[in-house]
Amino acid sequence: MRKPYIAGNWKMNLTPSEGAKLAAELKDQLKGVDVKVMIAPSFVTLPAVVEAVKGSNIIVAAQNVSDKESGAYTGEVSCQMLKDLGVNDVIIGHSERRSYYGENDEWINRKVKYALSQGMNIDLCVGETLDERKGGHLKEVLSRQIKVGLSDVSAKDMERITIAYEPVWAIGTGMTATSDDADDAHAYIRGLIESLYGKTVAENTIIQYGGSVKASNAKELLARKNIDGALVGGASLSADKFVPIVRCALE
């Protein structure tokens, strides 16, 4: 059985004090709720959020990480720095990193491998643009992102990988994939994982959906066989919006 996993990607929002306030609200309102929950603040907001969620099961993740150990890499943040803060989870390959900051599949794979070697858990994002979908390239794009993104990752390491399927055209646009379209893409991704790692790994891998998830559509999406959770952007920025999404995963 795959346990539902709801994650909030705060992106470049919420100062340390704002983040600490929201994290404390989430800690309070999610007490006793049996859903795996993660929140991903900006790097500078991480310490305040780690402190605020202490004593809860809320996982705190970074939104990105370097593929290097240390050294002259201005502006980068390493796994070691995150782990020193108590942060053991990281989102890698978000479409905004791919499109605005030029991260390609090979680079993403280097980050995945390095973060795994440092014992971290990874939420690896994949998804097609509108042009790619319209052009009939959905499967080709997902296949490349999964195969290259996970290249040299062992079956054992897959226990520490979550996949987030986020169609780029649905991110922050209010457009959600229909639950049929999303479930089809998730089934395709699960099939790719099966071809790489076998049935047991494929059946155990959590695949989240992301792209304009809100309380009003979460229930329908999460009810689908292959949709095991959500990666939420905009609606993760307030407890009023995020907590009801987490609760949808209980039903």
For 7, the token pair is: 């994650």
Q: Which of 96, 103, 128, 166 is catalytic?
A: 166
Cβ 5 to ligand PGA, closest distance in Å? 13
Q: Per CB under 6 A, which of residues 141..170 are in contact with ligand PGA?
A: 166
Q: Per CB under 6 A, which of residues 203..222 are in contact with ligand PGA?
A: 210-213
Q: What does DSSP say about strands 5-9 and 229-232: parallel, antiparallel, or unpaired?
A: parallel
Q: Does residue 186 carry a catalytic annotation? A: no
User: Should residue 127 be labelled a site residue for ligand PGA when binding is judged by CB under 6 A?
Assistant: no
Nearer CB in complex with ligand PGA: 79/232:
232
Angle at 41 between CA 101 and CA 127, to 5 degrees: 45
In this chain, which of 14, 62, 171, 182 binds ligand PGA, going by CB under 6 A?
A: 171
- Stretch touching ligand PGA by CB under 6 A, among 19-27, 74-82, 142-150, 231-239: 231-239
Q: Which of 76, 94, 96, 128 is catalytic?
A: 94
Q: Does residue 137 carry a catalytic annotation? A: no
Short-list 75, 57, 56, 76, CA closest to 66: 76
For 210, the token pair is: 């992301």
Distance of CA 43 to the CA centre of its chain: 16
- The number of beta carbons lying within 10 Å of the beta carbon of residue 112 is 27
User: Should residue 130 be labelled a site residue for ligand PGA when binding is judged by CB under 6 A?
Assistant: no
| Residues 37 and 67 sit within 8 Å (Cβ to Cβ) | no
**How many residues bind ligand PGA, per CB under 6 A?**
13
- The number of beta carbons lying within 10 Å of the beta carbon of residue 77 is 18
Nearer CB in complex with ligand PGA: 65/202:
65
Distances (CA, A) of 131 to 41, 145, 167: 30, 16, 11
Please give the residue ranges that form the binding site for ligand PGA (CB under 6 A). Answer: 9, 166, 171-172, 210-213, 231-235
Query: Which amino acids are annotated catalytic?
Result: 94, 166
